[in-house]
Chain A
Amino acid sequence: MIKCEKIQKMLPDYSIGSLSIKKREIIRKHIQNCPECLKQLEQLNNIASLIENIPQEEPPSYLWANIREKIANFEEDTFWQRNFGWLWKKRVTVLISSFGAILIAMGLYFILSNPSEKLNHNIYKDIGQHTFSSWNNPLTDRVALGMIVVKNEFGDEINETNR
């Protein structure tokens, strides 16, 4: 015979009729010979009838709209959580890593492209253009000027000395 302890665990489900036919039959036979378990079943049935007698409250009119909205949000959250949830969980690490990566990228950009040197070069080209435009002035020292312009064209050596 099955022990009372096991039967009593199944009694709540039995009282609301949610057990399989086989289990219901086992319990029915057991309570015929066990007054203790029968008493427990009667108490459960009393509680169920008390609950059934409580008047049912009508849900507010906006409830379904709220539920639909929450379902929609819940679906969106689950998508982001499924794909990128780990980002949020490790947000501090991700933030620091991203900042570091941006700094490294900026450093590489400036080292490789060296924009200031190119801008300097352009401004020196402008100075070279200005200098050369005085070539035909009769008082211009073309020999010195030629050396300056040639150096501007071929090496920028003169331009490296800024005061």
Chain B
Amino acid sequence: MKPIAKFVLISMTVFLLSSLAICPTYSSDNSALDLLKKAYSNQRLVSHTGMLKTEIFLGDKTSASIVEIQQKDGKVRTNYKSDVSSGLSIIDDGKKTMTIDSKNNTVVVSSIPDVSNDISLLLLNYNIMPKGSEKIVERQTQILQIIPKRKGNPSMKLWIDMKTFIILKREYYNSDNILVSRTFYTQINFNTKIDDDVFIPPINATYLESDLATRKTIKNEIPFEITEPTYLPIGYILEGYYLFNPPSGKGVQLKYTDGLNSISILEVVPPSGRHRMRWRRGSGMQGCRFIDNLQGRAIRISRNKLNITVVGDISENELQKIADSIK
């Protein structure tokens, strides 16, 4: 080998190794990680009141609302002040939500499923990158971007208050990298006294039990054999089984997560008679329906005398693979 060629080869090797040592590929920034960890644990702890604006983007439509928030001792009250949600309030005590509809004088109570607060799974599947700083409601924030390590998963931008570590602005991008929702404070106050009564729903209202999630529970409460997929996209693990109550009886939700995004498999006994699945047949699916929605994609299939819906903000191809693996 000629000396010049040797020199070029050695130079390139040294450059490559030093690059790897200085910048360990495309990984998370340590200060950004620390900041995210603080934000992770502080969200419910900091008492405050404020006004927010939230926007949901639906293709060519935008749905927006002005929202008043009151937070104290881990409890949060959200009052929607405009849009079709106007007049609605949600009280969240960490274990259940109470949705108050003042127009109809009803309170819908829904148990909140437990979710792991372990950030390690998120860090396995996403990179946390600092994206500069910005002032939100006159407070200094650090912008963090949560970027998926594998394509086909959602991403997020967070504006974290440098003093309290609460998130003052969020933007959520779906797996197609389309902005789905944006919420930001327009006003915040950390010194307002909040009355405890704020977190008590009206007594004279009609109370309704939601058919949405109940708390995490064991498999054997389900009156049928749970069918599980043999395929999951890389990075997802089973978070747990949740009971829910569809109109046709008990149902089970199998929830898989990668730390930020989640995939659900909802299994229910189909209603008897006319509402049974009668969709297109073919490609091994025993009746299948695909929905593409900004909240995520869903496939409904019929297996083992069950109606099974696979939901998640992942690609149609991945969703189909999961559905096909359910035997």
Which A residues are within 8 Å of any B CB, using their own CB?
A: 109, 113, 115, 118-120, 122-139, 141-144, 146-151, 153-155, 157-159, 161-163
Contacts and interface: CB of A to CB of B under 8 A. Distances in A.
Contacts of A129: 212-213, 244, 253, 264, 266
A125 B76 contact: no
Contacts of B92: 135, 142
Interface in B72-119: 76, 78, 80, 83-85, 88, 90, 92, 94, 97, 99, 101, 108, 110, 112-115, 117
25 contacts: A109-B274, A118-B275, A119-B275, A119-B277, A126-B266, A127-B295, A129-B212, A130-B255, A130-B298, A131-B296, A132-B113, A135-B97, A135-B112, A139-B260, A141-B54, A141-B181, A144-B170, A146-B97, A147-B85, A149-B99, A151-B85, A154-B101, A158-B58, A161-B293, A161-B294
> A-B pairs with the 4 shortest C-beta distances?
A130-B264, A144-B181, A136-B115, A130-B311
Interface stretch (B23-31, B59-67, B199-207): B59-67
Given A143-B69, A144-B54, 13 more contacts: A119-B277, A127-B296, A128-B212, A129-B212, A129-B253, A132-B110, A135-B113, A139-B260, A146-B80, A148-B56, A150-B85, A150-B90, A154-B88
B227 interface: no
Interface string B292-309: 111110101000000101
Contacts, number: 169
Contacts of A124: 291, 293
Contact of B172 (A133, A141, A154, A161): A141
B110 A158 contact: no
Contacts of B264: 126, 129-130, 133
B49 interface: no
A137 B92 CA distance: 13
B148 interface: no
Contact of B54 (A147, A154, A163): A147
Contact of B56 (A136, A147, A154): A147
Nearest to B43: A138
A45 B168 CA distance: 129
B262 interface: yes
B147 interface: no
Given A131-B295, A144-B181, A157 B262 contact: no
A145 to B, nearest CB: 8
A125 B69 contact: no
Contact of A126 (B52, B76, B255, B311): B311
A148 B85 CA distance: 10
A133 B255 contact: yes
Interface of B: 39-41, 43-44, 52, 54-56, 58-59, 61, 63, 65, 67, 69, 76, 78, 80, 83-85, 88, 90, 92, 94, 97, 99, 101, 108, 110, 112-115, 117, 122, 146, 156, 158, 167, 170, 172, 181-183, 210-213, 242, 244, 246, 253, 255, 260, 262, 264, 266, 274-275, 277-278, 289, 291-296, 298, 300, 307, 309, 311-312
A123 to B, nearest CB: 5
Nearest to B181: A144
A161 B117 contact: no
A157 B63 contact: yes
Contacts of A134: 115, 262
B293 A159 contact: yes
A126 to B, nearest CB: 4
Nearest to B53: A143
Contacts of A142: 76, 78, 90, 92
A113 B307 CA distance: 19
A131 B293 CA distance: 12
A107 to B, nearest CB: 15
Contacts of A115: 274-275, 278
Contacts of A136: 94, 112-115
A58 B210 CA distance: 90
B63 A158 contact: yes
